[in-house]
Amino acid sequence: MSLIRATGLRKTFGDFVAVDGIDVEVAAGESFGFLGPNGAGKTSTMRMIGATSPVSGGELTVFGMDPASHASQIKARLGVVPQTDALDEELRVRENLLVYGRYFGLTREQVRARTGPLLEFAQLTEKSDAVVESLSGGMKRRLTIARALINEPSLLLLDEPTTGLDPQARHVLWDRLFRLKRDGVTLVLTTHYMDEAEQLCDRLVVMDHGRIVAEGSPRSLIAQHASREVLELRFDVADHAERVEEVAGIAERVEVLADRLLLYVHDGDGALETVAARGVHPLSALVRRASLEDVFLRLTGRSLIE
Amino acid sequence: MSRAHEQGPTAPPGSAGEVASVGGSAVDDAGRAETPTGRVGGGWRAVLGYWLAVYKRIWRSTVISSFLAPLLYLAGMGYGLGALIDSGDRTAVPGVPYVAFVATGLVAAQAMMTASAETTYNVFGAIKWLRTYDAMLVTPLRVVDLVRGHLVYVLMRLTLVAGVFVLVSLVLRAMDGPLALAAVPVAVLGGLSFATPIYAFSATIQREEGFNVLQRFVIMPLFLFSGTFFPLAQLPMGLQVIGWISPLTHTVALTRALGLGPDSPLWLEPWRFAAHVAYLALWAGAGYLLAVRALRRRMVL
Amino acid sequence: MATGTTAAPARHALPFPVAMARPAALVERNLRAARHYWLTFVSGFFEPVFYLFAMGVGIGALVGSVDVDGREIPYAVFVAPAMMATSAMNGAVYDSTGNVFYKLKHSKLYRSVLSTPLRPWDIAAGEISWALLRGLIYSAAFLLVAAVAGFVPSWWALLAIPACTLIGLGFAAVGMAATTYMRSWNDMDYVQLAILPMFLFSATFYPLATYPPALQWVVQATPLYHGVDLVRGLMMGDLHVGLLVHVGYLAVFSALGLWATTRRIGTLLLT
């Protein structure tokens, strides 16, 4: 059964087209991602799914219901983690969960019973009486996620869940999200981090300028739109385009970036040997597996984070 | 009942940029003009420049609380209530129309209100919300520059507010004679006697809730019970004592003497003039020292 | 995993009908927040009391008594109802402008709330109920103080409490609608521009008859005038049909405010 079904979904703000006719279907239990740079239309899409932003065109159902007529019913079964935490700073940590649960019409006993385990899950038990302002960025994010889980949602929407967090905090957060996934919660997230999409998503769509430019599992997207490995070469030149000639023919495809060349190859080490054999000596060379970043570069001609 | 004062956590995000530009240019100037004593930086003038730049952007919205509100009080209390009082057999001061009594008190009360509005949320916001002070202190500016620049700005605002009010009062004949103009610097001093201790308070508190308490337990009662609208002598003795501690009572004594002129029964002998001024200066001076100390404790860890 | 699809009518709900279950969640939220800001809560009571004594005792000594419809009334008795009514207005406006603006623009509280089953109407109803609840406590406390001070001659004064709730409803609803148009804190000064003249000129400090006839019409058009005159009639035990006109005026004023607020919150946040 699909929890979300969008056909030709559009969102416009005046003349500006934020989402330009996308088709998406998310099944129960899936982990689904919207990957794209800032301004690709991810957040607008998420807000339409969350029934807080009216659909401008096309069709959208969430849990089989129309957000226009059943907003409250949809929201009752959703957990929403917005891009900015928007925690209630006038309340303490535990109170944020208690009060939020009451918004869902849960009884005090229900809310109280759920708060403890959720604080535990968010690793905030010791902080339960702390002032929200005193929490670190990672803690606030975990509290926001815990808050979104208070109504035991079957679908969790996460908008840029780890943007702005340090690497350690990101890994802690990913670990929490893995657990939810394992417990059968359907995750829908947006991100502009490839590693995040690769870590968390079973399936994803790549968005650019309000449209979907590719769809599939991270692995299949890489297989389809990039090579197995990538050789990165840096030279001591102002413009790396000057050196493209010297590596011609080695790779299936070469991308010129401001500070390096990317050679898309099946065998990175082999390609590096060939480069050396030609008498070309870069400042540095790096062989890595192809990633979604490469997919995005291929599809749009731009990198994800600029 | 001025509850909501000109700036809450006023300036929208844009002003953070202004801090950088004002502070930045000051450093450039000073880099070239290093003084023999080795002092580097734009000093308090650069900080004053920042506050003036902010004021230039938001002055329109302050017109209401700075200029219109006191005139409305003058109309409502002075003329309206005055009609009722002057027609009866009792008066605030024999021979003085009630509107003149109120006008000469309001100029001082308005200075207190302005001082409080300019040194509460503005200071707290610069410390905590906009982090303006953080941005300033990574430049060669010192903590004293921050306090001085801000207070000079407050002084300018006070002069403007009191000056306009006195001029309008003169036009309306609610004040009389050239001496009334001297009420302006006196009101400014009275304003500063509130500005500096409140600055210290704002630099000390951790939560803005303190401002509600300040407003309702200090500013509001003083506004009402410092002789602005009725003579202090009418109050029970206990309240009179509080009234005499209040710098506003002393400011009002001075502005009223000057605004009503030497012929009024409220004219003061020279030593009384001096005593009131000294009392106000004491508050302003002590408050200044406390303000610098409080801000240093807060910002320099 | 899915829980109840709609807000289950809370079991405890006593003072609120079922339709108020969702707004009640927001009231509960504000109550919790107020516990952390109890000093602010308490201080709200003192302001009108300070005004009452400054005006009643201080100015009262200068004025003596006031002529109301041919009767000589001590000034304190005349001014106390005005202080009670204006404080109901001030409290409601303060709650629905500054506090709501903070939640709308700074803490983004309503954005979070709207991703739960609460709807814009629930937010408007919740915030306004809270303002009224708070105002109710202040009004009752004020009345008690005024009565103890001997400024309240009639038992009808008890009805001044619900009258103040009606005043609060009107100003909270209109204030909240106005807040949705505010861009920055500086705009709070425009709120002052509306409140201050009403506070000073709505027959608060001196009788309507003091004004020239043309101005009397202007004064009578303002909502606070109707509030003051209603509360004054009740507190002095001076009942007449005109009081019903005041009630009608304030009811319409409130309805307009509620309608505008609900619409504006929807267009502002559900985009």
Q: Write down the residue that tokens 């740079």 correspond to.
A: A37
- Pairwise CB contact (< 8 Å): A54 & C271: yes
In chain C, at which residue ranges do the beta strands (DSSP E only) sit? 65-68, 71-74
d(CA B91, CA B100): 12
On the CB side of C122, how many CA atoms lie within 13 Å of its CA?
28
- Pairwise CB contact (< 8 Å): C113 & A73: no
What pLDDT shows up at residue A303?
Answer: 65
Q: Report B:231-250 residues touching C (Cβ under 8 A).
A: 234-235
**How many other C-beta atoms lie within 10 A of the C-beta of residue C153?**
15
In C, what residues contact B, Cβ < 8 A?
Answer: 37, 39-40, 43-44, 46-47, 50-51, 54, 57-59, 61-64, 66, 86, 90, 94, 97-98, 106, 184-193, 195-197, 199-201, 205-206, 210
Nearest CA in chain B to C63: B85
Q: Which residues of C touch A50 (CB under 8 A)?
A: 115
Where do the CATH 3.30.70.980 domains begin and end in chain A? 227-290
Distances (CA, A) of A14 to A17, A18, B222, B271, C185: 8, 10, 52, 71, 28
Secondary structure (H, E, C), chain A = CEEEEEEEEEEEECCEEEEEEEEEEEECCCEEEEECCCCCCHHHHHHHHCCCCCCCEEEEEECCECCCCCHHHHHHCEEEECCCCCCCCCCEHHHHHHHHHHHCCCCHHHHHHHHHHHHHHCCCHHHCCCEHHHCCHHHHHHHHHHHHCCCCCCEEEEECCCCCCCHHHHHHHHHHHHHHHHCCCEEEEEECCHHHHHHHCCEEEEEECCEEEEEECHHHHHHHHCCCEEEEEECCCCCHHHHCHHHCCCCCEEEECCCCEEEEECCHHHHHHHHHHCCCCCCEEEEEECCHHHHHHHHHCCCCCC
Three-class secondary structure of residue B263 per DSSP: coil
Q: Which residues of A touch C108 (CB under 8 A)?
A: 84, 86
Could you report the per-residue pLDDT of A206-221, keeping only the tens digit for each?
999 999 999 999 989 9
Pairing of the two strands A253-256 and A284-289: unpaired
d(CA B235, CA A215): 80
Q: Which of C179, C185, C193 has the alpha carbon at shortest distance from B122?
A: C185
CA dihedral A263, A266, A267, A272 (to 10 degrees): -20
The answer to whether residue A78 neighbours chain C at the CB level (below 8 Å) is: yes
Nearest CA in chain B to C97: B4
Residue in C97, C106, C186 nearest the CB of B61:
C186
- Smallest Cα distance from B39 to chain C, Å: 37
Where do the CATH 3.40.50.300 domains begin and end in chain A? 2-217
Q: How many helices (H) and strands (E) does chain C have?
A: 12, 2
Please name the chains neighbouring A, where neighbouring means 3+ C-beta pairs under 8 angstroms: C
What pLDDT shows up at residue C1?
Answer: 38
The answer to whether residue C159 neighbours chain A at the CB level (below 8 Å) is: no
Global ipTM: 0.85
The answer to whether residue B91 neighbours chain C at the CB level (below 8 Å) is: yes
Backbone dihedral region of A60: left (phi > 0), alpha (psi from -120 to 50 degrees) or beta?
A: beta
The fraction of chain B above a pLDDT of 70, given in percent, is: 87
> Could you state, in chain order, the average pLDDT of each consecutive group of 10 residues for chain C (271 residues)?
38 48 92 91 91 92 88 94 95 90 87 92 91 94 96 95 97 94 86 92 92 93 96 94 96 94 85 77
The answer to whether residue B221 neighbours chain C at the CB level (below 8 Å) is: yes
The answer to whether residue A134 neighbours chain C at the CB level (below 8 Å) is: no
Could you report the per-residue pLDDT of A18-58, keeping only the tens digit for each?
999 999 999 999 999 999 888 899 999 999 999 999 999 99
- Pairwise CB contact (< 8 Å): A89 & C37: no
- Smallest Cα distance from C2 to chain A, Å: 5
The answer to whether residue B98 neighbours chain C at the CB level (below 8 Å) is: yes
Confidence of residue B130 (pLDDT cuts 50, 70, 90): confident
Secondary structure (H, E, C), B185-199 = HHHHHHHHHHHHHHH
Nearest CA in chain A to C99: A90
Q: Which of A184, A186, A116, A183 has the alpha carbon at shortest distance from A158?
A: A186
Long-range contacts of A220-223 (CB under 8 A, 24+ apart): A221/A292, A221/A295, A222/A290, A222/A291, A222/A292, A222/A294, A222/A295
- Pairwise CB contact (< 8 Å): C190 & B7: no
Q: How many helices (H) and strands (E) does chain B have?
A: 14, 0
d(CA B116, CA B110): 10
Q: Which residues of C touch B80 (CB under 8 A)?
A: 200-201, 205-206, 210
Question: Do C114 and C270 touch, CB atoms closer than 8 A?
Answer: yes
Which of B214, B216, B226, B252 to mutate against chain C (most C CBs within 10 Å)? B216
Question: How remote is the C-alpha of C66 from its chain's centroid?
Answer: 26
* DSSP conformational letter for C57: I
What pLDDT shows up at residue A65?
Answer: 96
Q: Which of A121, A99, A103, A126 has the alpha carbon at shortest distance from A112?
A: A99
Residue in C86, C185, C192 nearest the CB of B65:
C192
Confidence of residue B177 (pLDDT cuts 50, 70, 90): confident
Residue in C4, C33, C114 nearest the CB of A105:
C4
Dig out the tokens for C6 from the structure.
């709609």
* DSSP conformational letter for B18: H
Measured over all CA atoms, what is the biggest interatomic distance in chain B, rounded to whole angstroms? 70
What pLDDT shows up at residue B37?
Answer: 57
Please name the chains neighbouring B, where neighbouring means 3+ C-beta pairs under 8 angstroms: C
Q: Which residues of B touch C61 (CB under 8 A)?
A: 90, 230, 234
What angle, 0 to 180 degrees and rounded to 10, lies between the N-to-C axes of helices C120-148 and C38-53?
50
- Smallest Cα distance from B63 to chain C, Å: 9
d(CA A302, CA A206): 13
d(CA A295, CA A291): 7
What pLDDT shows up at residue A304?
Answer: 57
Task: Please list, in sequence order, all residues whose beta carbon lies within 8 angstroms of the beta carbon of residue C234, skipping any fewer than 6 positions away.
Answer: C81, C154, C156, C157, C159, C160, C163, C243
Residue in C21, C109, C271 nearest the CB of A53:
C271
Q: Decide if pLDDT at B17 tops 50.
A: no
The answer to whether residue B2 neighbours chain C at the CB level (below 8 Å) is: yes
The answer to whether residue B214 neighbours chain C at the CB level (below 8 Å) is: no
Could you report the per-residue pLDDT of B43-95, keeping only the tens digit for each?
999 999 999 999 998 888 888 888 999 999 999 999 999 988 988 878 888 88
Q: What is the fold, at CATH topology level, of the domain defined by A2-217?
A: Rossmann fold (3.40.50)
What pLDDT shows up at residue B28?
Answer: 39
Question: Do A161 and C12 touch, CB atoms closer than 8 A?
Answer: no
Distances (CA, A) of B115 to B5, B46, B271, C170: 11, 21, 27, 33
**In one letter, which amino acid is C214?**
A
Report, as ranges of residue numbers, the positions in chain A whose pLDDT lies below 70. Answer: 303-306
Q: Decide if pLDDT at B16 tops 50.
A: no
Q: Which residues of C touch A79 (CB under 8 A)?
A: none
CA dihedral C86, C88, C89, C93 (to 10 degrees): 140
Q: What is the fold, at CATH topology level, of the domain defined by A227-290?
A: Alpha-Beta Plaits (3.30.70)
Burial of residue B57 (number of CB atoms within 10 Å: 0-12, 13-18, 19+): middle
Q: In what order do the strands lie in the sheet with A31-35?
A: A78-81, A155-159, A186-191, A31-35, A203-208, A211-216
What pLDDT shows up at residue A82?
Answer: 92
The answer to whether residue C29 neighbours chain A at the CB level (below 8 Å) is: yes
Q: Decide if pLDDT at B12 tops 60.
A: no
What pLDDT shows up at residue C67?
Answer: 87
Q: Which of B229, B97, B283 has the alpha carbon at shortest distance from B173?
A: B97
Question: Do A295 and A222 touch, CB atoms closer than 8 A?
Answer: yes
The answer to whether residue B3 neighbours chain C at the CB level (below 8 Å) is: yes
The answer to whether residue A113 neighbours chain C at the CB level (below 8 Å) is: no
Q: Which residues of A touch C116 (CB under 8 A)?
A: 75-76, 100, 103-104, 151
Q: Decide if pLDDT at B27 tops 70.
A: no
Which of C35, C37, C40, C45 to mutate against chain B (most B CBs within 10 Å)? C40
The fraction of chain B above a pLDDT of 90, given in percent, is: 66
What pLDDT shows up at residue C19?
Answer: 64
What pLDDT shows up at residue C126?
Answer: 93
